[in-house]
Amino acid sequence: RFSNPSLRHRTWQIAMDGSQKLPQRLLDPVRLHLQNGGSWRHLALGVAGWMRYTQGVDEQGNAIDVV
């Protein structure tokens, strides 16, 4: 993405509104894997990362800087 000028969306545009994208990007795939007997555990890491981020602090209690 960084070196391809023909892509219309900028990196910051892709990253914005992450919480709104969570259902279709992670939760829907988890649901599909559960319905089809597949493994969903790798998707749980993405959900856990999002949950950590929404707390606003890292494991040491330091504020997460958003740039």
Does a structural domain hold residue 64?
A: no
How far apart, in whole angstroms, are the C-alpha atoms of residue 27 and residue 14? 18
Does a structural domain hold residue 10?
A: no
Does a structural domain hold residue 30?
A: yes
Which structural domain range is residue 38 located in?
Answer: 18-54
Query: Which residues does 34 contact at the CB level (< 8 Å), separation at least 6?
Result: 40
Are 26 and 43 in contact by the 8 Å Cβ rule? The answer is yes
pTM as predicted: 0.59
The count of domains in the chain is 1
Does a structural domain hold residue 49?
A: yes
Q: What is the per-residue pLDDT across 28-53, written as a single tens digit (0 to 9) for each?
A: 999 999 999 999 888 889 888 888 88
Which of 39, 40, 13 lies closest to 26, judged by CA?
A: 40
Does a structural domain hold residue 42?
A: yes
Residue 63 φ then ψ, to 5°: -60, 140
